[in-house]
Amino acid sequence: MSVPQAAHRAMPQVRRFGAVNWIGLWTLYHKEVRRFVKVATQTLLAPLVTTLLYLAIFVLAIDDASHKIADVPFQSFLAPGLIMMAMVQNAFANTSSSLIIAKIQGNIVDLLMPPLRPVELALGLTLGGLTRGIAVGLVSIVAVSLLLPIHVHDWAFIVFNAVAASLMLALIGVLAGLWADKFDQMAAVTNFVIQPLSFLSGVFYPIEALPAAFQQVMQLNPLYHAIAGFRYGMSGTEAGDPLTHALVLAGVNLVLGAWAYRWFRSGYKLKP
């Protein structure tokens, strides 16, 4: 073997990836999941305690076991909304905190240097947030079922709305994390966007209790559609057409996904 041939074999070879860098995508997703699993007391147990506290406070405040909303006991009406609210808030927190912390600490380069395409970056981060949202939802359902009878009306709507809503807030968290430059800006998004959308989405009350004008405004809140669809899957309580809720969530996710991809592709607030 000639010297040039031996030297050529000793040189590191360029690694080839197919249409998708599956190893890189899995590594990013695995990192995002490990982030919240390592602090499960904060990321899984704390939302569970908050959900149970809300449930206890409102049940005690009503103090009427016979009180019903849409022909279901108040507790059964309230529980799906509280579970969904916990899921979406934690899906948002996972992706938004991951990006804002990386930007402020200066290790965002660890995310940008690997051979990951914009769609892979967006997908890896979003799936991590989705996983945290679903994990919080499962833990909450198990805990609530120990206190209240949990009825399943339609598994398909439960699964779809849980996944679609967690995905939606994970994507919003990605966009917020890309946009924010400091914790104050991220806190503003949480306090003035996410929390109002959550509390004004029909978690604690039926939409029929609102004046007609406000009922129309509620239709513009995507979290209302998520909670209404999830509640229908669990209790069979209908607030509007369940299929319409599903279509709204699918459309919003498509728009948010394209938005996140465009920002990653352009390097929005990531590249000088």
Burial class (CB in 10 A: 0-12, 13-18, 19+), 259: middle
Domain assignment present for residue 10? The answer is: no
- Residue 31 backbone dihedrals phi, psi, to 5 degrees: -60, -45
Nearest to 93 by CA among 154, 146, 150, 50: 50
Confidence at residue 65, expressed as pLDDT on a 0 to 100 scale: 60
Domain assignment present for residue 147? The answer is: yes
pLDDT category at 5 given cuts 50, 70, 90 is low
To which H or E segment does residue 261 belong?
Answer: helix 242-266
Q: What is the DSSP letter of 26?
A: H
Domain assignment present for residue 13? The answer is: no
Output the six-digit token pair for 202: 């029909």
Per-residue pLDDT, averaged over 1-12, amounts to 53
CB 26 within 8 A of CB 32: no
pLDDT, tens digit (0-9, with 9 covering 90-100), for 178-222: 999 999 999 999 999 999 999 888 888 888 777 888 888 888 999
pLDDT category at 270 given cuts 50, 70, 90 is confident
55 Rama class: left (phi>0) / alpha (psi -120 to 50) / beta: alpha
**Residue ranges making up the domain that contains 25:** 21-266
Which of 7-16, 93-102, 160-169, 230-239 has the weakest average pLDDT? 7-16
Output the six-digit token pair for 268: 């929005």
To which H or E segment does residue 68 belong?
Answer: strand 68-69
Angstrom distance (rounded) from CA 22 to CA 52: 39
Domain assignment present for residue 8? The answer is: no
Output the six-digit token pair for 51: 């959900």
Domain assignment present for residue 128? The answer is: yes
Which of 17-26, 34-43, 112-121 has the weakest average pLDDT? 17-26
Domains in the chain: how many in total? 1
Domain assignment present for residue 246? The answer is: yes
Other CB atoms within 10 A of residue 185 CB:
13
Confidence at residue 175, expressed as pLDDT on a 0 to 100 scale: 97
pLDDT, tens digit (0-9, with 9 covering 90-100), for 58-83: 888 876 666 777 678 888 888 999 99
pLDDT category at 151 given cuts 50, 70, 90 is confident
Nearest to 198 by CA among 162, 169, 161, 231: 169
Confidence at residue 19, expressed as pLDDT on a 0 to 100 scale: 80
Burial readout 211-243 (b: 16 or more C-beta within 10 A, e: otherwise): eeeeeeebeebbbbbbbbbbbbbbbbbebbebe
pTM of the model: 0.90
Domain assignment present for residue 9? The answer is: no
pLDDT, tens digit (0-9, with 9 covering 90-100), for 39-55: 999 999 999 999 999 98
